[in-house]
Amino acid sequence: MTEPDPNYEAIRRDGALRVRRPDTEWLSTGWNGGRRMADAAYNISVPEGWDRTDLGVYIDDRLERAGFKTAAETAAGPALLTGVDIADARGARRGSVTAYATAGISNPAALPMEPTPTDESDSAGVESDDSGLDQGRGTVNVIVGTTQALEPGALENLIAVAAEAKAATLLAETGFPGTTTDAVIVGHDPSGSPAAFSGSGTEVGAATRACVRDAVRASLRAHYATADADLPASVDDATDGVSTDGQADVFQPTLATDRSEPDS
């Protein structure tokens, strides 16, 4: 097995994973997400039946319990929550990129390409509430870091690259593109070598795709090797899950017939 990465060093303790690199700028899609400067990002495992809604207090308590929140901490980093045991977390690195993942599929989110026609009253086929807090034994969380400095827009695009790689991996391994509670954190070193773009054809984008694929695949296999559960064959077989069966109205944008300015 590959040695731990000194660039984005990760340790796990008391059900929490800390991914650390000083003076990193992070962008998170999780709770209280967005951009922030911090020395670390976190992934925290929650117990089965967990139903807390005071997420800030809960995260602070868990990080303090794990010894990750001290007076020397410069700023609280972004954190994700998962129903997957942190012991099942796996990391992968390639070039300037490191990725860590936890993956479980108790709450799959299916997207059939030939949905059943429904009326608008079914909320586009979504069958669960909007809380997003019931972690079950699922959730696919990914934390990606690069030692390069990404230009404006490139860090945001790295979220899309990581999410695409996650979905492609999950489709190949499970038949589902994701779960109802997936989240991604990406980070970069503002003082590193500059990179103007992060698409799949760039060094950082290609490395991110490889790292996310391999970390998610390894975590899935670790999780289902130890969990008292099997991968669900369908949404109906899962503990929780949704299938977006509703159809949207498809239309072509209007073709402008002149070059006049729009009404102000």
Confidence tier at 90 by pLDDT (50, 70, 90)? very high
- CATH domain 9-243 topology: L-amino peptidase D-ALA esterase/amidase (3.60.70)
For the chain, the average pLDDT equals 88
Query: What's the pLDDT score for residue 126?
Result: 47
pLDDT at 123: 42
pLDDT band with cut points at 50, 70 and 90 for residue 128: very low
pLDDT of residue 69: 77
* Interval 83-92 mean pLDDT: 96
Residue 179 has pLDDT above 50, yes or no: yes
- Domain definitions of the chain by residue range: 9-243
What's the confidence (pLDDT) of residue 230?
Answer: 84
In this model, does residue 23 exceed pLDDT 80?
yes
Q: What is the pLDDT of residue 264?
A: 57
Q: Are 101 and 141 in contact (CB under 8 A)?
A: yes
Answer yes or no: are the C-beta atoms of 191 and 120 closer than 8 Å: no
pLDDT at 124 over 70: no
Q: Name the residue among 134, 219, 130 with its Cα closest to residue 169.
A: 219
Q: Per-residue pLDDT averaged across 171-187, rounded?
A: 96
- Note every long-range contact of 60-65, with CB atoms under 8 Å and residues 24 or more positions apart, other chains counting: 62/14, 62/15, 62/16, 63/16, 65/14, 65/16
Tens of pLDDT along 40-76?
Answer: 999 999 988 788 888 999 999 999 999 997 655 546 8
d(CA 77, CA 73): 9
pTM greater than 0.85: yes
How confident is residue 97, by pLDDT bands cut at 50, 70 and 90?
Answer: very high
Query: Each residue of 107-144: b (16+ CB within 10 Å) or e?
Result: bbbbeeeebeeeeeeeeebeeeeeeeebbbbbbbbbbb
pLDDT tens digit sequence for 202-245: 999 999 999 999 999 999 999 999 877 788 999 988 888 899 99
CB 235 within 8 Å of CB 115:
no
The percent of residues above 90 in pLDDT, for the chain, comes to 72
Give the C-alpha separation, 163 to 178, whole Å.
Answer: 9
pLDDT digits (tens, 9 = 90+) for 2-13: 666 779 999 999
pLDDT value of residue 185: 98
Q: Is residue 121 very low, low, confident or very high in pLDDT (cuts 50, 70, 90)?
A: very low
pLDDT, residue 6, reads: 78
Residues of 228-256 as b/e, b for ≥16 C-beta within 10 angstroms? ebebbeebeebebbbbbbbeeeeeeeeee
SS3 annotation, the chain = CCCCCCCCEEEEECCEEEEEEEEEEEEECCCCCEEEEEEEEEEEECCCCCCCCCHHHHHHHHHHHCCCCCCCCCCCCCEEEECCCHHHCEEEEECCEEEEEEEECCCEEECCCCCCCCCHHHHHHCCCCCCCCCCCCCEEEEEEEECCEECCCHHHHHHHHHHHHHHHHHHHHHCCCCECCCEEEEEECCCCCEECCCCCCCHHHHHHHHHHHHHHHHHHHHHHHHCCCCCCCCCCCCCCCEECCCCCCCCCCCCCCCCCCCCC
